Structure 1
Amino acid sequence: MLTNEQLHTIEVLQKECEQTDNIQLKLNWDMLRQRDDLSMDFFYEENGQLIAYLALYGFGSTVEVCGMVKPSARRKHHFSTLWLQALQVIQEKGFQKILLNTPDSSVTAKEWLATQSCTYDFSEFQMQWEQQLLEKSEDILIRQSLPSDVDFEVHLDVLAFNLSEDDARIHHEDIKDRTEEHRFIIVADGTDVGKIRVSKIDGEAYIYGFAISPEFQGKGYGGKTLRNIVKQLHEEGYSVGLDVEAKNMHALRLYENIGFKSIQAQDYYLWN
């Protein structure tokens, strides 16, 4: 696993980059804190100080890439050097699809991407919940996921997130033992109708993998589930955030109706 010192230096560099560029980087801290494969992290240091960092995040046959360079040390090819190292690991591990992630307002990232063999693929909004009164719905039950729910969860990931079944099962194996992440099954009238995941780290909660089975959509279960989850997290003292793909207007409106506001967009580029 990454050491506490490594995690601290990554966090310090992230805050400096975000403050300088007025952006929010997507470093997937829930995954970084649970790293069991240190070949997915790439560091460049000078005089004991972290200057550049690049991270790989595997999701089945797809790998996402995110990184940063200290503002005062840019345009010295540090990131490109790390990227070449990362490409070798990507090839060795056999990933089939590479997505490069950048905040949509990052000028330096877009300049670097313009020199690479990649094309824009999609964007997603990072959203944060702004406090408002939420009424709890009593006709929705949210229970902990059980080992017997694996096939149901995998099936929903295939339907909702356009994953292959193999990728969905690999992703499930990757996340099932994360101590800071909780998986829930959504139940209505005694029937399993959906799923949702929540991670809790340092007073911040993040919602992932939210999906309602197609045959149960349009019945209000999604909105009721979100209200119950967000209400509970708020009462526990957590701030609440999530990501939603920009073209998913139905989900976007659902989140906005509950009080989520877009704080920044993340752009994804497909490596050719």
Structure 2
Amino acid sequence: MLTTQQLEGIKQLQQQCEQFDTIELKLNLDMLHERKDDTLDFFVWQENELIAYLALYGFGTSVEVCGMVQPDARRQGHFTRLWQVAQEVIAHKGFQKVLFNAPGVSESAKGWLSGQPCKYSFSEFHMVWSAKELDELTDIALRDATIEDKDFETALDADAFSLSSEDAESYYNERLSRQKERRYIIEVNGSAIGKIRVTRSYGESYLSGFAVLPAYRGKGYGGQALQTIVKTEIPTGNSIKLDVETKNDHALKLYERIGFIQQQRQDYYEVHLNARVEG
């Protein structure tokens, strides 16, 4: 579990980097607050001030890497040293796929990545809902997911997000402990046809894990479910956000019709586990 000092240091460093670079970092602060494994975070402190940080986020056999360095402390090798230590943890935990996550407009991230043995994999748009009149909906219903829905949720995750059955189950089990996350099952005429998750934290309602069974896609049910979720979250006063892969034209158009607008892009780079990092 991260300490109060560590969490405050991460928030302050994030603010410094985002303001200096005009970027948005994907640090998943809600996940950091619920960390139970203290081997996934790596720090460089200078006189009680956090100047460099790297975090690992495990998803089944895959792990995402995100980090930042104080503007005045860059080009001193801090992030490279953190990454060298992090690789030992990655190997020890047996992760098979490693993805670096970096804001698409971050010149400092691009500069560091250009010297590393990694290759571009894909990009996501961060999207936020802008106030728009929504439809009156009657065809679908939402209910809270229960443990009895595990098989349905894991099978749908495996199909929709190209996961192995083992990874889908591991991901499901890991998320059960997230206290700020609410899981919904989408139903039509009493039958489960899809799912979606909502995490409320830090003035945001973040939507994730949205998927519909293949037989029910293209029939408008997904759009109705998203609008229903948006209507549920509007009274909280939170900004309503989600991420979508930039190549997913169908999903992009669906989100835009409902009122979501594109913000910054996040780029993902894959690195081979047996690669040696220079720098």
**TM-score, structure 1 length as denominator?**
0.98
Q: Which runs of 4+ in 1 moved over 3 A?
A: none
What are the superposed Cα offsets for residues 112-164 of structure 1, whole Å, 9 maximum, x if unpaired? 11111100000010001111111341221110001110000001101110100
Q: Pairwise mapping of residues 40-51 of structure 1 onto structure 2 (< 5 A)? A: 40-51=40-51
Q: Pairwise mapping of residues 1-272 of structure 1 onto structure 2 (< 5 A)? A: 1-272=1-272
- Name the SS for the 1:39 alignment partner: coil
- 2:132 partner amino acid: Q
- Do the aligned residues in 2 keep the contact of 1:158 with 1:168 (CA within 8 Å)? yes
| Alpha-carbon distance in 1 for matches of 2:26, 2:97 | 19
5+ residue gaps in structure 1? none
| Alpha-carbon distance in 2 for matches of 1:178, 1:105 | 30
5+ residue gaps in structure 2? 273-279
RMSD of aligned residue pairs (Cα, Å): 0.8
1:188 Cα shift?
0.7
- Do the aligned residues in 2 keep the contact of 1:122 with 1:269 (CA within 8 Å)? yes
1:237 Cα shift?
1.7
| Alpha-carbon distance in 1 for matches of 2:165, 2:136 | 34
**TM-score, structure 2 length as denominator?**
0.96
- Do the aligned residues in 2 keep the contact of 1:136 with 1:228 (CA within 8 Å)? no
1:236 Cα shift?
2.4
| Alpha-carbon distance in 2 for matches of 1:142, 1:153 | 14
- 2:158 partner amino acid: V
What are the superposed Cα offsets for residues 39-71 of structure 1, whole Å, 9 maximum, x if unpaired? 000000011100000000000000000000000
- Do the aligned residues in 2 keep the contact of 1:184 with 1:195 (CA within 8 Å)? yes
| Alpha-carbon distance in 2 for matches of 1:195, 1:73 | 43
1:239 Cα shift?
1.1
- Name the SS for the 2:39 alignment partner: helix
What are the superposed Cα offsets for residues 100-123 of structure 1, whole Å, 9 maximum, x if unpaired? 010011101111111111000000
- 1:263 partner amino acid: Q
1:197 Cα shift?
0.3
- 1:109 partner amino acid: A
- Do the aligned residues in 2 keep the contact of 1:136 with 1:231 (CA within 8 Å)? no
**Percent identical across equivalent pairs?**
52
